[in-house]
Amino acid sequence: METLDYVPLRLKKNEERRLLAGHAWIFSNEVDVEATPIRPLEPGQPVTLQDSRGRTLGTGYANPNSLICARLVTRDADHPFGPSLLVHRLKVALSLRERLFEEPFYRLVHGESDGLPGLVVDRYGDVLVAQITTAGMERLRDALLSAFEKVLRPSAVLWRNDSPVRSLEGLDLYVQPATGPIPETVEITENGARFQVPLLAGQKTGWFYDQRDNRVWLRRLSTGARVLDLFSYAGGWGIQAAMHGAEQVTCVDASADAVAQVEANARLNRVDDRVQALAGDAFEVLRRLREERARFDLIIVDPPAFIKRRKDLKEGTAAYRRINQMALQVLARDGFLIACSCSQHMAADALEKQVHAAARHVDRQMQILSRGGQASDHPIHPAMPETAYLKAILCRCIGQ
């Protein structure tokens, strides 16, 4: 049995319906604070969740300082939330990835979808990069390291606990080696291409594994094409386009470090003679390319989230339309556009609507050829739409 000290957290009448339907979050206004006060609890406090009549729904953890005041981790009374459950869930997550992928390069843990809310782990061979976003998981940080050791025996573990989401839980932001020497870069393979991925200085947890399946589109589209890869980071799209026969690839990123990484990865794959990397704001680069009357046969628009919070929806939606409209202005006649959004608050049909509106504004007819989402190592919890965040559409834009 676990040694954690669980306290009861009781819900108001009928507030258990969402949990019974499969969701795992409890909001502060759903708790019967007269029966079980929230405020006295410590951030990350292990709790036994109860319905309004006191019947146990499961165990998890609470944080009185967060709007999501508790998260249900397990409904199994015999295996409560705690260190041994971490080991079990990690083994289950690993078995799925080993079945899906031949090489050890993938997202190993994807939060609620893998039964470990507040935890993301990316695997780079024998190096793990982990990100904790909740106080409940932060309290079990040492137990997580023990679980990693028991299940995977990694040579190194890096905490990339610098996500702004941690501030909502009252947690500090930091990047810190946990075990072993952390290499400056690690090498991965994706769809036959090799990439050097920066860990300490890279974006988020190092690599965007979630676009792996969508990048397979490049095999059919790249031969002989002039390609523009916007928000390229380390070249995940552009390098693969070059390897599939693109005539010329231009990668654009605001980060000089990312541009240097593109150049290094182009050399690694021996396509540096056809890959050009530019440092600059994507909107400004597109404006300049339009003035130069540049044209591309394939353009990838894969920006960071323009909508980080629900209140950003209007402004962020306009930004998606604007960036895709500007991309269409340098897209060759009957060219292909890959438009993406990683904003959880933007629905897939909303992205399509904005891209279509952009196409009509510049007098182009859009055909949607394929729709994509996050790769299978980023599973979606069917009761939690919040876990489905990535949208990608492949379209042909006729005219001009």
pLDDT digits (tens, 9 = 90+) for 96-113: 999 999 999 999 999 999
Q: What 3-state DSSP class applies to 385? A: helix
Task: Judge contact between 219 and 259, C-beta under 8 A.
Answer: no
Task: Judge contact between 83 and 74, C-beta under 8 A.
Answer: no
In terms of C-beta density within 10 A (0-12 exposed, 13-18 middle, 19 or more buried), how is residue 144 classed? buried
**pLDDT value at position 1?**
36
Other Cβ atoms less than 10 A from the Cβ of 290: the count is 14
**pLDDT value at position 3?**
59
Phi, psi of 177 (to 5 degrees): -60, 135
> How far apart (Å, rounded) are the C-alpha atoms in residues 350 and 356?
10
What Rg do the C-alpha atoms of the chain give, in angstroms? 23
Mean pLDDT for the chain?
95
Catalytic residue among 251, 342, 395, 397: 342
Closest CA to 114 of 391, 380, 389, 344: 380
Q: What b-and-e string marks burial along 293-320, b requiring 16 or more CB atoms within 10 Å of the CB?
A: ebbbbbbbbbbeebbeeeebeeebbebb
Closest CA to 87 of 140, 19, 133: 140
Matching residue, tokens 């946990």: 178
Helices assigned H by DSSP within 2-118: 17-20, 83-100
Half-sphere exposure of 346 (CA within 13 A, CB side): 30
Q: What 3-state DSSP class applies to 46? A: strand
User: With pLDDT > 70 as the criterion, what percentage of the chain qualifies?
Assistant: 99
251 is known as an active-site residue: no
**pLDDT tier at 183, thresholds 50, 70, 90:** very high
Closest CA to 109 of 205, 10, 202: 205
The region that residue 217 occupies, defined by phi over 0 for left and psi between -120 and 50 for alpha, beta otherwise, is alpha
* CA 162 from centroid of its chain's CA atoms: 14
**pLDDT tier at 78, thresholds 50, 70, 90:** confident
Task: Judge contact between 332 and 348, C-beta under 8 A.
Answer: no
Q: With both helix axes pointing from N to C terminus, report the angle between 141-151 and 83-100 in degrees, rounded to the nearest 10.
A: 40
> How far apart (Å, rounded) are the C-alpha atoms in residues 121 and 144?
11
* CA 394 from centroid of its chain's CA atoms: 20
Strands in the chain per DSSP E: 7-10, 25-27, 45-50, 56-62, 68-74, 105-110, 119-124, 127-132, 156-161, 174-179, 185-190, 193-198, 226-230, 248-253, 275-279, 296-301, 331-341, 365-372, 391-398
Residue 142 predicted with pLDDT over 60: yes
- Written as six digits, the tokens of 294 are 């540049």
Other Cβ atoms less than 10 A from the Cβ of 9: the count is 28
Give the tens place of pLDDT for each residue, 235-286.
999 999 999 999 999 999 999 999 999 999 999 999 999 999 999 999 999 9
Average pLDDT of span 319-347: 96
- Which residues sit opposite 27 in a β-bridge? 68
**pLDDT value at position 395?**
97
User: With pLDDT > 90 as the criterion, what percentage of the chain qualifies?
Assistant: 92
